[in-house]
Amino acid sequence: MTPRFLSRRSLAALLAVALLAPLSIQPSAAQDRSIVVASTTSTQDSGLFGHILPLFQAETGIEVKVIAQGTGQALDTARRGDADVVLVHAKAQEEKFVAEGFGVKRFDVMYNDFVLVGPTGDPAGVAGMTDIAAALEQIRAKALPFVSRGDKSGTHSAELALWKTAGIDIAAVRGDWYREIGQGMGAALNTAGAMGAYTLSDRGTWLSFKNRGDLGIVVEGDRRLFNQYGVILVNPAKHAHVKAELGQTFIDWLLSPTGQSAINAYAIDGQQLFFANAAADRS
């Protein structure tokens, strides 16, 4: 009786192990089908990723985990090998990243524009202007409150370039009127609203921003406010653990007609936030 009892118990144990084994394998396999994308706060705060990533995952089975930072920080994250792909908006920084060997190749993926936001009372008297340099000159001349992200993001880089275009050395002339916060776009807009200040915002984040209070767009339409986004695969030659195949699948999807259509389809209150512009020839 005892040998028969033991054999049955052993058989039951073996069956239990066989049933549990697939459960222990499945989470690991799922983890292998994920990538990390270091991107900007604008793509996250605008809701774009919330729109396109479920579509991408449904088509490919690849999960995308987003690290939302300023462009400079996102590129530094990728330099450390802590991301598989970067999607940012400061072309000069992106090209430097690739030239240094940290990225494989840069592709245009989409664009929108920057807008100057300020109090609806407009103490600077710039509302309706289409010359961003002239508007910044008036804000500086009157020392009116201006909120800068101050975080080495693409928006921060664009802002500094615009001050330079206006002939203003902001590092030399800034005072109490110029406030750097070292935070993302949503925080900058909240701070501007609380202070009754002006700030530069990407249009996507502005359109999705709910706490506008007394803020409104005062300057838009200057060609110098163009805002291009690029996508880059992190170089696996620098970091062997980079998931190059899965990362490239994400890039290819973004640049494909399907991905480009998904980007164009994202709108808030009928207003399109981003405009896909991947080159037809990506060789």
* Residue spans per domain, the chain: 35-112+227-276, 113-225
What is the predicted pLDDT for the residue at 89? 95
Query: 254: pLDDT confidence band, cut at 50, 70 and 90?
Result: very high
> How far apart, in whole angstroms, are the C-alpha atoms of residue 164 and residue 150?
15
Domain 35-112+227-276 sits in CATH at: 3.40.190.10
Measured between alpha carbons, how far is residue 210 from residues 39, 147, 155, 216, 278 in Å?
22, 18, 20, 12, 30
Residue with more model confidence, 28 or 183 = 183
What are the tens digits of pLDDT across the range 19-75? Answer: 444 444 344 444 479 999 999 988 998 999 999 999 999 999 999 999 999 999 999
Six token digits for residue 260? 């480009």
Query: 107: pLDDT confidence band, cut at 50, 70 and 90?
Result: very high
CA 164 to chain centre: 25
Fold for 113-225, please state it.
D-Maltodextrin-Binding Protein; domain 2 (3.40.190)
Query: 272: pLDDT confidence band, cut at 50, 70 and 90?
Result: very high
pLDDT greater than 70 at residue 16: no
